Amino acid sequence: MNRYQNILDYLYSQLPMYQRSGAAAYKDTLENTLILDEMFNHPHREFKSIHIAGTNGKGSSSHVLASILQEAGYKTGLYTSPHLIDFRERIRVNGEMISEDAVVDFVDQFREMNMGAKIEPSFFELTVAMAFDYFRKEQVDVAIIEVGLGGRLDSTNIITPEISLITNISLDHTAILGNSIPLIAKEKAGIIKQNIPVVISESNDEYNSVFIEIAKENESPIHFADQEYQAAYSMILPDDLQLFNFNKNKTLLFPDLKTDLRGTYQKKNIGGVLKTIELLQKKGWKIEKDHIYNGLLKVNTNTGLRGRWEIVGHNPLVVCDTAHNEAGIRLVVDQIKNTAWKSLHIILGMVDDKNPEAVLKLFPTEANYYFTRASVPRALDEKKLKKIAESCGLQGIAISKVKDAVNEALQNAEAQDLVYIGGSTFVVADYFSQKF
């Protein structure tokens, strides 16, 4: 076994990891993060950053911003989570993943410095420290930092960014963040910093007042992007690109804005990004209109983003999406309804610490369902999922492995059908990591 694989085994098996273990791995304090930051001599102070939180859309928004800044000539770091296939997806510079050697060197350095078990960090705490240290070593001009969970107590929340971006708020991770929209909004609003502008991609009467109050407390200018930027028109082009016409204050500003990100829901994320770019321009950042157009056109190419209404096959049309909560699935189901198909096949898996009924009730009853289980401990048993789904009027079969479920759906589907793979980030990850 090589050194890199040994390090991955250490990260995955010896450190608490939320993606695998759930709430048991969550730390409700920044103590370890602050110790790690001091241990590595405060690397986040050596580069500029943009901080992004939100229930849905923060990953897409992070990648879009990174792509535009790369096109503008800025050396751009990108920290996101979770990864789909390769751990190194979490940490990128100008789209290139951190090297295996850099991962090994950082963990070895940490373990040597931490002799005597000064701290016992979680997987996420150590990964954030790794990202910040790597961005400093790479001398990035700016790093786009995606919050892992929540905001106020997230390990990324030691930075002082140029701008804070919050995409939206809906019910998710309620056992940790709170069981109401205002409570969750308050946790997400924890990334708002003193005198730092904050952009809210999607305004909503349920949480606007929370953000306005906390922004006022911090003397932070607040901007609700969707009150300025709206997509007047959108369509999917024959080459699988998506086209938008974006207005600002009802005046066409970005006609024929094409992106390799699909899903009409991206208009919500793009609006927040456009407002963020506008604020950066006002602060003196050299970002031209061409950089915006080229950045949106090449998001996947520039940053390696995957799993957002990603078309992975034709005849039948095969699409996967990492949406995994009620608000995200609602948008995906709308996309399914607006996509042409003769018959619909849905491969579906979920984790066992969600509210499956609320999500399952959103799915169409006329589909053929293949209930499955991703290869992580948090995954909901496929037979239990099938039983719950049946109570919601969804009929199908239970297949234990994602690969087998996809194969079964492909055997049953005809050329004019739609095959959808989703319900959980981990189902999509299993699809990408397994050969078909």
Which strands sit side by side in the sheet containing 48-53, from one edge to the other?
96-97, 91-93, 76-79, 142-146, 48-53, 163-166, 198-200, 222-224
Q: Of 156, 124, 127, which Cα lies nearest the Cα of 21?
A: 124
Give the 3-state secondary structure of residue 210: helix
As a whole number of angstroms, the distance between CA 75 and CA 93 comes to: 7
pLDDT in the model for residue 26: 55
More confident of the two residues 388 and 239: 388
72 pLDDT higher than 70:
yes
Q: Of 184, 215, 208, 413, which Cα lies nearest the Cα of 316?
A: 413
More confident of the two residues 20 and 144: 144
Least confident residue range of 42-56, 113-127, 308-322: 113-127
Q: What is the pLDDT of residues 328-352, one digit of tens each?
A: 899 999 999 989 999 999 999 999 8
Average pLDDT, integer, range 25-46: 88
Give the 3-state secondary structure of residue 259: strand
pLDDT in the model for residue 80: 97
Average pLDDT, integer, range 265-290: 97
pLDDT confidence bin for 173, thresholds 50/70/90: low
25 pLDDT higher than 60:
no
User: For the chain, first and last CA: distance in Å?
Assistant: 26
324 pLDDT higher than 70:
yes
Q: Residue 48 pairs with which residues in a beta bridge?
A: 142
As a whole number of angstroms, the distance between CA 231 and CA 236 comes to: 14
pLDDT in the model for residue 236: 78
The chain-wide mean pLDDT, for the chain, equals 92
Decide if 203 contacts 91 (C-beta within 8 A): no
Altogether, the residues listed in the chain come to a count of 436
More confident of the two residues 115 and 52: 52
Handedness of CA 172, 299, 321, 268 (dihedral sign): positive
142 pLDDT higher than 90:
yes
Decide if 342 contacts 416 (C-beta within 8 A): yes
Average pLDDT, integer, range 409-420: 97
Backbone angles phi, psi at 416, to 5 degrees: -95, 10
Burial of 318 per CB tally in 10 Å (0-12, 13-18, 19+) = buried
pLDDT in the model for residue 99: 97
pLDDT in the model for residue 234: 79
23 pLDDT higher than 90:
no
As a whole number of angstroms, the distance between CA 98 and CA 136 comes to: 13
pLDDT in the model for residue 353: 75
Average pLDDT, integer, range 115-119: 78
Q: What is the pLDDT of residues 200-223, one digit of tens each?
A: 999 999 999 999 999 999 999 999
Between vectors from CA 321 to CA 62 and to CA 364, what angle results, nearest 5°? 135
Question: How many other C-beta atoms are found inside a 10 Å radius of the C-beta of residue 217?
Answer: 11
Q: Of 226, 225, 323, 308, which Cα lies nearest the Cα of 260?
A: 308
Q: Name the DSSP letter for residue 87.
A: G
Buried-exposed string 273-292: b where 16+ CB fall within 10 A, e elsewhere = bbbbbbbbeeeebebeeebb
378 pLDDT higher than 90:
no
Decide if 206 contacts 169 (C-beta within 8 A): yes
Q: What is the pLDDT of residues 219-261, one digit of tens each?
A: 999 999 999 999 987 787 878 899 999 999 999 999 999 999 9
pLDDT in the model for residue 325: 87
pLDDT confidence bin for 117, thresholds 50/70/90: low
pLDDT in the model for residue 150: 84
Contacts of 202 (CB under 8 A, 6+ apart): 167, 168, 225, 226, 268, 272
Backbone angles phi, psi at 229, to 5 degrees: -110, 125
